[in-house]
Amino acid sequence: MRNFLFGLTVLCALFTYSCTKDDTSSDNLNNASASSRNIENSGTWFVTHFSEGTTIQTSLFANYAFQFLSNGVITGSTINETITGTWRAVADSGKSKIVISFPAIKSFDELSEDWELIEESGAVIKLKHISGGNGGDDILEFGRSQVAGNINIGSTPLQNISGKWSVSKYQNKDKDRTSYFTGYGFEFKTGGDIIAAKGTSIINGTWKSYVDSGKSKLKFTFPDVNKFGELNEDWEIISQSANTLNLKNVSGGNGGTSNLSFSK
């Protein structure tokens, strides 16, 4: 009888341990899932820091805007291309992690790691990976704005351009074509639409800001009506204030320069 009771006690202890372990594992997974609450479907992010050990590689991804989608897809996009990978939130040894996987395109596979989630909020995502071998730390940080400074991300990033604007100057190389757009009011919508209106004439187009070769740029796409097709260029942002926006385009071939200015 004594042996039977002892065996029953051991069995109960093992059952209790098993339940506790399962509950702990479940809690870890739930915590990992909760830790991605400010990441999933949270809009556009930019790589503000990426380093492998002591080597800073932020510039590899400086031109790309990233999105973490709810279907497990992560994208890195410029005006010309989108590179697609996968991401997921997991728990590993009590740590919340973000596992990222990209194809070997333009160094994007450098981001393919299981990253420990150090900090996340609506404004920042900080990740760390301890690499094998020398055990150096890789650091990956995302923020809401493209970084400037030592990687030369355009000296004039686009600021708020809400409200209505008019074309105060349009010079196509050596010809003044401002009159093409006299009387039109331009309104930049947050979703990437732009509306030009003059009386009953309404021209709908799109706009997009991005960085190309270290230069902040605006790209317009209008239908080829009423000379609006001439604005369909990638314009470098030269300067901007609350009431002015000055753009420049250097064309290929003869290298002629066009200038476009908006004012309020």
| Judgement on whether residues 116 and 171 belong to the same structural domain of the protein | no
Residues 124 and 202 both lie in one domain: no
Distance in angstroms (rounded) separating the CA atoms of residues 159 and 243: 11
Whether 256 maps to a domain, the answer reads yes
51 in the same domain as 112? yes
Q: Largest Cα–Cα distance in the chain?
A: 106
Do 130 and 65 fall into the same domain?
Answer: yes
What is the pLDDT at residue 134? 59
Q: Looking at the 3D structure of the chain, how many domains does it have? A: 2
Residue 127 · residue 119 · CB < 8 Å: no
For residue 11, the model assigns a pLDDT of: 47
- State the residue range of the domain holding 134: 46-143
CATH number (domain holding residue 203)? 2.40.128.270
CA–centroid distance for 49 within its chain: 13
- Is residue 40 assigned to a domain? no
pTM (predicted TM-score):
0.48
Residues of the chain with pLDDT below 50 are 4-6, 8, 10-12, 14-34, 149-155
**Same domain flag for 101 and 50:** yes
